[in-house]
Amino acid sequence: MARKTATSLLFFLLLSIHLGGCSTLPRTTEQSRPPLRSYDALVDDRQHPLEVYDPLEGFNRGVYRFNHYFDRYLFLPVVRTYDFLLPDYLEDRISGFVDNVFEFNNLLNNLLQLKWKGAGITLSRLIINSTIGIGGLWDPATGWGLQRRTEDFGQTLGFYGIGNGPYLVLPLLGPSNLRDSFGIAGDAAGFAGIGPVAWVDNSTASQAFTSVSSVDRRHRQPFRYYQTGSPFEYEMVRLLYTQKRALEISK
């Protein structure tokens, strides 16, 4: 559930959404009915900066509710136990280790986007934090002015002009879209191929890292379902996720 599903969600603003009463709208004619979005929407969304294409809204809302129940009754109890048992100092070391391991994905996607400066900084961070920082348990690179350059394969696809496609809510992972769903798969494949976990011929170690990193990322994510105080939380999350991803791709 930790796709920055689950970076970001870390980011919720208050949004005013006005819904006009359907009974007051004029009857739509064939001439006034807006055209259905074509496949071109997958390639270029820039002409609709505030529109979120959500043709599967009913399904997505169902998955959103499922994620809420999973989070509330299964995942958050694990996260609270983790927080109770581990002191903050140890939690910080685990977070640093997890972030350092995922720098391999940042490096790969910086290279794929031809961001040579970002790739150089990321490689420097990897070397410094993996050695002086003892596997990322500490982060001296940031203190030396080498800020993390986070990139994922969804951003890489966006860099090459692939549009959002339809909005999706993924089971356990949270808000996404068609492009970013392929991005998640691409990152997983890349990480499995070149990440440190791929160097360890031990499925138990790989599973342990996946479990710990998932709990760690959820622990760092302050968002809680249905605690925004808005009856339009689904719409808020949908719009804010879409705008956040647009900003990340444009940077």
49-62 confidence digits (pLDDT tens): 567 999 999 999 99
Q: Spell 91-125 as b/e; 16+ CB within 10 A means b.
A: bebbbbbbbbbbbbbbbbbbbbbebeebbebbbeb
Q: Write down the domain spans for the chain.
A: 52-85+152-250, 95-151
112-121 confidence digits (pLDDT tens): 999 999 999 9
| 3-class secondary-structure state, position 189 | helix
In this prediction, residues 21-25 reach a mean pLDDT of: 38
- Band of the pLDDT at 30, cuts 50, 70, 90? very low
Please choose, from the candidates 196, 137, 180, the residue with its C-alpha nearest in 3D space to the C-alpha of residue 3. 180
DSSP state of 229: S
pLDDT of 202:
63
> Residue 167: enclosing H or E segment and its boundaries?
strand 167-170
- For the whole prediction, is pTM greater than 0.75? yes
Contact between 187 and 153 under an 8 Å Cβ cutoff? The reply is yes
Top pLDDT among 214 and 19 is at 214
- Band of the pLDDT at 24, cuts 50, 70, 90? very low
